[in-house]
Amino acid sequence: MFKIQRCTFLLSPIINLEKGCPTMKSSLVTSRACGRALTFSGIRCGNANRVFYRRTPSFACRPFSSSHVTKQENKPPLMEAFSGGFGKLLKWSMIGTGVMASTVMLAIAGFFVYDASTYKECDVPEYIDVPKMALSPELGGPENLPILRENLDAFDSEAKEKLSYRPKLVILGSGWASVGLIKALEAGDYDVTVVSPQNYFLFTPLLPSAATGTLEVKSLMASIRKIVNAVHGHYLEAKAEKVEFAENLVKVSQIHPQTGEKRYFYLPYDKLVIGVGSTANTHGVEGLEYCSRLKTAEDAIDLRRKIKNNLELACLPTTTDEERKRLLSFVVCGGGPTGVEFAAEVFDLLNEDLPKVYPRILRQEVSVHIIQSRSNILNTYDETIAEYAMQRFKKEDIDVLINSRVHKILPDRVVFTQKDCVTGESEFKELPFGLCLWSTGVAQNPLAKQVVQDLSEFQRNRRAIETDSHLRVLGAPSEQVYAIGDCATVRTDLAEHAVEFVRQFIVNRHLHPSRSIDIITDDDIKHLSLSYEEIYDLARELVKRHPQTREHLHNVDEVLPKYDVNNSGALDFAQITELLREVESKATSMPATAQRAHQQGKYLGKKLSKAARYFEAARADEKVHLVSDEDVGKPFKYVHLGSLAYIGNSAVFDLPGYSFVGGLVAMYLWRGIYFAQTVSLRTRVLLFMDWLKRGIFGRDILTI
């Protein structure tokens, strides 16, 4: 007999009868799983047990004879939503969002806590130790001027007070070379004083971006005082006028900001580093006062202001069509990296941001021109890169005038000559401009020119201060004066010193090095001959002393047959001299770039720190006279890491052994390299924010 159970909903038992079953037993089973009532009905037939079940929609079941009701525990709707795969994704998304929001809130709270800690109450000590010599400097020197032997902050800290007894290292300039030197110095080795009219270091490779509003000028600047403070040094905002080599003094001038009075004083030194940079090369062209430059922060600000003013003037109803076209004509004199990058930045500004805020007609009348004296732009780069830049500029309607030389600059136009590639004849042309940038190489800084004149007996180059391979100024007494960066160049002089080179080589090879080299006279040298093997050894010795000749002296075996006219397997002194003269002519001077200046500064900083430790050890052993640059380090070796250039939403890379050009990917790589080369965390943060701001809001050409 069946036992019937009544539920909230009608439940029909499922009966499955199989033929041939002698007995039949049915049962009704109620099971609760996961809080729900499940009703099964099954029939056991023979030794086969087959159960058929149906899940009922009922949430409460009770027997027929009982009033008790069984209730099921219901899940909340939110938990029901999280039970599936999508629910899990939603759940973890909400958790992640909560974690991120909490992190942001904690970061903001932490920032406010830190910011609050930076505000301090006024705490001025009653007594401050100041050197008497800083308040009342003695008079002296050739012009009887005040001599600054102690700085005002010499006793501001215990570290600075200890350094007042160390050798005085004076650094002139605050550019790439000087900053590279300061960062390479070990704190505590020297009493460092930096003299520069600019109290900041400027990241010059990105100046074209600052001139067009892509970056802010302050994002490229780092406080020179903070940089010098890392070595417990001092900074003077002044200008070096002259070096008195005989008395180890630097004549310094400073202009009073209120009265305009120029005041002078002397700064003594034990070691002097000249890193004053260079100025623009005029090439004897008249009218450069009508042109803009791009070497300083002030230049970038001035260019940005002129661009904005030209655009605003072009919108006025009083401006004629001819005048509007002239105002919107941007001319760059010089097809080097700076000129090319500025032209590309100006084009990007006018192409991407001008139509958004200015009348559309201005975009049609804008023109960008580059006047280049060579047959292509970027002529110091690989030929494929130069061709790529030319093609890209042609595509963007940037007018590149090659084989052209500027003759004169007038207030509203450039007069130049352009050579016809077919006939070879030159034709005078004129190009109106609203803004003209002069970017055609570098020339001597006034201080560098003064140094060359004072040491004219030893200095032959009229474009830069000549140094030896250890960066010491040639002709400077005591060998304690160095010159680095754009203001200096390394002299090779292989042929001129051939006698000394050969004499020293013979002594080291055939005689005991302790013997005097005077035993071999000049006449002996001029009558000897060296075998090929000996010349190979001589070349290796010369490479150690003049690393810039490595490329040519390592392949000296290729040119030996050219000078061995008798096929004797040896060269006499005259033939050796001619060989060295050819190598010297091929050894090009180092480029006037930030890369070279930084390498020289870093090299000299490490060397000076090493020399300070050698000096202390030698003084303890009473062997001070043995300490020299040759004892503490190898000659400077410039390693060219490559050249970069931005050419308008793309970039080119001229690297050793290969070249790379590309679009946006190359541009981001270009940005990344310069981002990594900045000198402080502050400038990196500001650069990132400027690039982010440009992408969201566009370039900022507002000026105050």
Q: Are residues 514 and 479 in the same domain?
A: no
Answer yes or no: is pLDDT of 572 > 80.
no
pTM value?
Answer: 0.77
In the predicted structure, residue 583 carries a pLDDT above the cut 90: no
Residue 686 lies in a domain: no
Name 407's Cβ contacts closer than 8 Å, sequence gap at least 6: 285, 415, 416, 417, 428
Contact 168, 191 (CB under 8 A): yes
Give the tens place of pLDDT for each residue, 332-365: 999 999 999 999 999 999 999 998 899 989 999 9
pLDDT at 6 over 80: no
Give the confidence band of 81 by pLDDT, cuts at 50, 70, 90.
Answer: low
Do 175 and 305 fall within a single domain?
no
How many domains does one find in the chain? Answer: 4
Quote the CA–CA distance of 285 and 160 in Å, as a whole number.
49
CATH code, domain with 324: 3.50.50.100
Residue pair 264/255 in contact (Cβ under 8 Å)? The answer is no
Structure confidence by residue, pLDDT tens digits, 455-478: 999 998 888 999 988 999 999 988
- pLDDT of residue 319 exceeding 50, the answer is yes
Q: Is the same domain home to 119 and 246?
A: yes
Residue 512: the pLDDT is 46
Phi, psi of 45 (to 5 degrees): -125, 115
Question: 425 and 454 in one domain?
Answer: no
- pLDDT at residue 694 above 50? yes
**Lowest-confidence range among 257-266, 342-351, 693-702?**
693-702
Going by C-alpha positions, the residue among 218, 172, 229, 165 that lies closest to residue 195 is 172
End-to-end Cα separation, the chain, in angstroms: 102
Instruction: Indicate if the pLDDT at residue 454 is higher than 90.
Output: yes
pLDDT at residue 29 is higher than 70:
no
557: CATH:
1.10.238
What percent of the chain lies above the pLDDT cut of 70? 78
Same structural domain, 22 and 155? no
DSSP 3-state assignment of 500?
helix
Q: 558 lies in which domain range?
A: 493-586
Q: Per-residue pLDDT for 235 more than 70?
A: yes
Query: And the tokens for 340?
Result: 């090319």
Q: Which of 480-484, 500-504, 622-626, 647-651 has the highest mean pLDDT?
A: 480-484
Task: Report which listed range, 168-182, 560-574, 587-601, is most confident.
Answer: 168-182
Domain presence at residue 222: no
> What is the rounded average pLDDT of the residues 251-269?
93
Q: Which residues of 385-400 are buried (b: 16+ CB within 10 A; e: fewer)?
A: bbebbbebbeebebeb
Shared domain for 390 and 255, answered yes or no, is no
